[in-house]
Amino acid sequence: METAVVWFRDDLRITDNPTLADAVTAADEVVPLYVVDPRKRGETEYGTEKLGAHRARFRRESLLELRAGLQDRGGDLFVRRGRPETVLPEVAGRVDADAVYAQTKPATEELETEVGVRETLPDDVSFERRWTHTLYHVSDLPTSYERMQDTFTPWRKAVERECSVRDLVAPPDAVPTPDLPAGDVPTVSEYGLEAPTDDDRAVLRFEGGESAGKRRLEEYFWEEDRLREYKETRNGLLGAAYSSKFSPWLAAGCLSPRWIHEEVRRYEDERVSNEDTYWLVFELLWRDFFQFQFCKHGSRFFHPNGIRDVEKAWERDREAFDRWANGETGIPFVDANMRELNRTGYMSNRGRQNVASFLADALGIDWRWGAAYFEERLVDYDVASNWGNWAYQAGVGNDSRDNYFDVLSQAEYYDPDGEYVTTWLPELEGVPPEAVHRPWELSEGERAEYGVRPGVDYPEPIIDLEARYEDLQG
């Protein structure tokens, strides 16, 4: 009798999961396993935490749902605590496994763990890796990732011209599993974190799991018919209707990008095919690009100068960094975005670009501190998407043109009525829209009239931003 262990990592789904499907096909019995690795939490070298409460809760919900899905198929999800390098050989030995099937990912620590597991498995247990988290398969690229270009557009065009997306893999009908102690799915408090409280202002209550992810697509594509206006509205800041919000489910692997792609095609057949529908796939290609860039450059993405041959002198001013992180810079657009992140675990793409540019360009602070802070806070944190985008924004990554975001004009353009900043900074509610992005310019009379006291109930700006932008231009 053949037995296979299926080691779930960031692929917490049953639909279109080749790792699970191949194991079920090859073996008579499978052991679906999730390992709670102590190295995934704790303090980083930047003084931040690796795991925050929003992502911990999302993962718990995703694991509970995966367990329920496997139980519906006659199986279960076994949860064990410890280093995968120790747990996998133990479990494989206990069930006399012939093989371990696992998702493979490009990030450095994940790869090290994977190599460690392979080395500690006995020789007669084969280690089967599956690449399952991108739209295009790594083996189908026009050039191998080692030789891929570091610039997005030519790479994307070559992929669109020369590759096709593979078909979905059907979910197994049955998952025959031996009788073993199940093990508890970790709670948020097991990580020493406090469960997050919900906030009415959040764009969504992100609920982990494959069916919640599918429900979000159902709502966004089919019920509310938003895909037809995706590109036009994706730079929004408030509410569920702008952009798909698929990122947390993609990051945990609750949704497969190929499944989303198939739904886009179905929408294009049944409703409308336009630039907006194409643009969602275009964004999934950005996601793929960073994954393959990580395969190519590996740990260089964690260097202060990133993947580029530039020498930048980064500031390491802890006090200024803390003001940024806590949303207390006195620049409303930055503060509103950071407070949203801190309260809800999510921030729009427009917000992320602006706060990242503010930290790295305007304050000149080591962008890796910001990336590490996002790692702690984001519900959708993904190594490649996060560090790749941060490096890009800091001018040390891909396509970098040393362009900074002028946060003040961005705020005035994308939040002309000040609705976004006053949602997250109620202390500025009384200030009229034309002044709300620059409260420091208010006269004494205006301050009294609008009931705002910069320096008392809202901070004075941490820097003279306009002067700083002049310097950057000069």
Among 290, 294, 321, 458, binds ligand FAD (CB under 6 A): 290
Of 35 and 356, nearer to ligand FAD (C-beta) is: 356
- Residue 298 near residue 290, CB atoms below 8 Å: no
What CA–CA distance (Å, rounded) separates 112 from 119?
11
Task: Give me the residues paired with residue 102 across strands.
Answer: 7, 129
- Tokens linked to 358: 């503010």
Q: Among residues 85 and 340, whose Cβ is nearest to ligand FAD?
A: 340
Dihedrals phi, psi of 100, to nearest 5 degrees: -120, 125
* Sequence-ordered list of residues with C-beta below 8 angstroms from that of 163, at least 6 positions apart, any chain: 136, 140, 141, 142
Number of Cβ within 10 Å of residue 308's Cβ equals 17
Site size toward ligand FAD (CB under 6 A) is 29
Q: What are 365's two structure tokens?
A: 């602070």
The only residue of 27, 325, 362, 378 in contact with ligand FAD, by rule CB under 6 A: 378
CB under 6 A: which stretch of 8-16, 101-109, 270-278, 350-358 binds ligand FAD? 350-358
Q: Is 284 a known ligand-binding residue?
A: yes
Q: By C-beta, is 76 or 415 nearer to ligand FAD?
A: 415
**Minimum separation from the CB atom of position 41 to ligand FAD (A):** 17
189 is in an annotated binding site: no
At its nearest, how many Å lie between ligand FAD and the CB of residue 371? 7
Looking at 114-122, 136-144, 335-343, 375-383, which segment touches ligand FAD (CB under 6 A)? 375-383
37 labelled binding-site residue: no
- Using the rule CB under 6 A, give the single segment among 11-19, 263-271, 308-316, 383-391 that binds ligand FAD: 383-391
Q: Which two tokens stand for residue 289?
A: 């690009």
Nearer to ligand FAD, 54 or 287 (CB): 287
Binding of residue 352 to ligand FAD (CB under 6 A): yes
Q: Is 290 within any annotated ligand binding site?
A: yes
With CB under 6 A as the contact rule, the residue among 268, 276, 283, 429 that binds ligand FAD is: 283
Q: Among 381, 405, 424, 469, which residue interacts with ligand FAD (rule: CB under 6 A)?
A: 381
Cα(76)–Cα(100) distance, rounded to whole angstroms? 16
Task: Select from 132, 277, 386, 398 the one that contacts ligand FAD (CB under 6 A).
Answer: 386
Contact criterion met (CB below 8 Å) for 102 and 19: yes
Dist CA 119 CA 121 (whole Å): 6
Closest CA to 306 of 387, 233, 244, 363: 387
Element of type H or E holding 100: strand 99-103
> Which of residues 277 and 348 has its CB atom nearest to ligand FAD in the complex?
348
- How many helices (H) and strands (E) the chain has is answered by 20, 5
Residues numbered 216-255 forming contacts with ligand FAD, rule: CB under 6 A = 234, 243-247, 250-251
Q: Which of 211, 268, 349, 408 binds ligand FAD (CB under 6 A)?
A: 349
What is the Cα–Cα distance from 5 to 33, expressed in whole angstroms? 7
Torsional sign, CA 388, 391, 394, 395: negative
- Any idea which residue has 């490096």 for tokens? 391
The verdict on whether residue 245 carries a ligand-binding annotation is yes
Contacting residue, 390, 404, 405, 420, with ligand FAD by CB under 6 A? 390
3-state secondary structure of 323: helix
DSSP state of 79: E
Q: Determine if residue 180 is labeled as part of a ligand binding site.
A: no
Q: What are the angstrom distances between the C-alpha of 443 and each of 328, 435, 439?
A: 21, 11, 9
Applying CB under 6 A, which part among 95-103, 143-151, 335-343, 382-390 lies near ligand FAD?
382-390
Classified as helix, coil or strand, 10 is: coil
Q: How far is CA 7 from CA 107, 126, 175, in A?
A: 17, 13, 14
Q: Contact at 8 Å (CB) between 461 and 319?
A: no
Shortest distance in whole angstroms from residue 38 CB to ligand FAD? 22
Stretch that binds ligand FAD, among 40-48, 179-187, 269-277, 380-388 (CB under 6 A): 380-388
Q: Is 285 annotated as a binding residue?
A: yes
299 labeled part of a ligand binding site? no
Does the annotation list 366 as a binding residue?
no
Q: Is 287 a binder of ligand FAD (CB under 6 A)?
A: yes
CB of 247 to ligand FAD, least distance (A): 3
Contact residues toward ligand FAD (CB under 6 A) are 234, 243-247, 250-251, 280, 283-284, 286-287, 290, 348-349, 352-353, 356, 374, 378, 380-382, 385-386, 389-390, 393
Annotated binding site for FAD: 230, 243-247, 283-290, 380-382
Binding residues: 230, 243-247, 283-290, 380-382
